[in-house]
Structure 1
Amino acid sequence: MSKDFRTFRDFYPFYLSEHAHPACRRLHFVGSTLVLACIVAAILTRNAWWLLGAVFAGYGFAWVGHFVFEKNRPATFKYPVYSLIGDWVMFRDMLTGRIRW
């Protein structure tokens, strides 16, 4: 069922419900960490190819989590901006212990 979210605050509980499986969350965390590493590598080496690696790392790990563990379609397809924000909020929440690993 399609939902319309007016704010990110409304969207985030839905986002978390789509990431209920711990393996999916862990794969998102690994992907997000690799995104940061690729961005740092791009800056340090002045090689923009690392940015392409960031895209593949971020989406690749996340999508494996969804298709293999959650058995759902990533929210990115329907809510790209809120999903991107959600990835980083969940990353922060996992780092700070607000969300269980």
Structure 2
Amino acid sequence: MNLNDTALSTETAATQDGDYTNKTTKTDLIKADPSIKQNFYDFYLGEHQNMACRRLHFAGSSFGLLGLAKSVKDRSPTPLLKGIAAGYACAWVGHFFFEKNKPASFKFPLKSFASDFRMYSDVLRGNLSLKDRKYDRARKKPAQ
């Protein structure tokens, strides 16, 4: 999904008090106050709708964690640097070729890094699917 599709689709964003009843477009999520964690994570998930992009992010985060582990084991920074490079390469391929958007890390590097590991954790816990978005449970559904 890209920004041109926002007129046709709506997504739900949390307000400051956690109310999910307000319907907002993806454009509104981009304009959301990035200081509010849930709004940023909802925005972040909105930028990762394509399953190939999500899979590449998961693989990239795994490479980064493996690099960290090997770096600690070997007491060398080289595996960590290689893991980080491989992780970002996977993520950027996912964004540029599959999701067709710019990585959020270009504008919000720290929040995006934290959200990437939150997304990684959500995949491991079964809250986000790498097969189909219909199985996602990470975002609360709006009250009907």
TM-score (norm 1): 0.94
CA shift digits 1:13-64 (9 cap, x unpaired): 1100100000000000000011110011111111111121122012110000
Aligned: 1:57 with 2:117: no
Question: Structure 1: which 4+ aligned runs deviate by more than 3 Å?
Answer: none
Letter of the 2:123 counterpart: M
- Looking at structure 2, the residues matched to 62 and 29 of structure 1 have their Cα atoms a distance apart, in angstroms, of 9
Give the root-mean-square deviation of aligned CA atoms: 1.2
Contact 2:123 2:129 in 1 (8 A): yes
Find the residue that maps to 2:114 and give its secondary structure: helix
- Bigger fraction of residues in helix: 1
Which residue number corresponds to residue 37 of structure 1? 66
Matched, 1:23 2:21: no
- SS of residue matched to 2:79: helix
Kindly provide the amino acid, as one letter, of the partner of residue 76 in structure 2. Answer: N
Aligned to 2:39: 10
Aligned pair count reads: 101
Kindly indicate whether the alpha-carbon contact (under 8 Å) linking 2:63 and 2:84 is maintained by their aligned counterparts in 1: no
1:78 partnered with 2:107: yes
The secondary structure found in structure 2 opposite 1:98 is coil
Structure 1 residues not aligned, in runs of 5+: none
Q: Distance in 2 between matches of 1:25 and 1:93?
A: 12
For 1:9 and 1:78, locate their aligned partners in 2 and report how far apart those are by CA, in whole Å: 17
- The corresponding residue for 1:93 is 122
| CA deviation vs aligned residue, 1:71-99 (integer Å, no higher than 9, x gap) | 00000001111101110000000111101
Report the TM-score, using the length of structure 2 for normalisation. 0.67
Give the drift of 1:10: 1.4
Percent identical residues: 46
Stretches of structure 2 lacking an aligned partner (at least 5 in a row): 1-26, 131-144
Greater shift, 85-94 or 5-14, is seen at 5-14
User: For 2:118, what is the secondary structure of its paired residue?
Assistant: helix
One-letter amino acid of the structure 2 residue matched with residue 12 of structure 1? Y
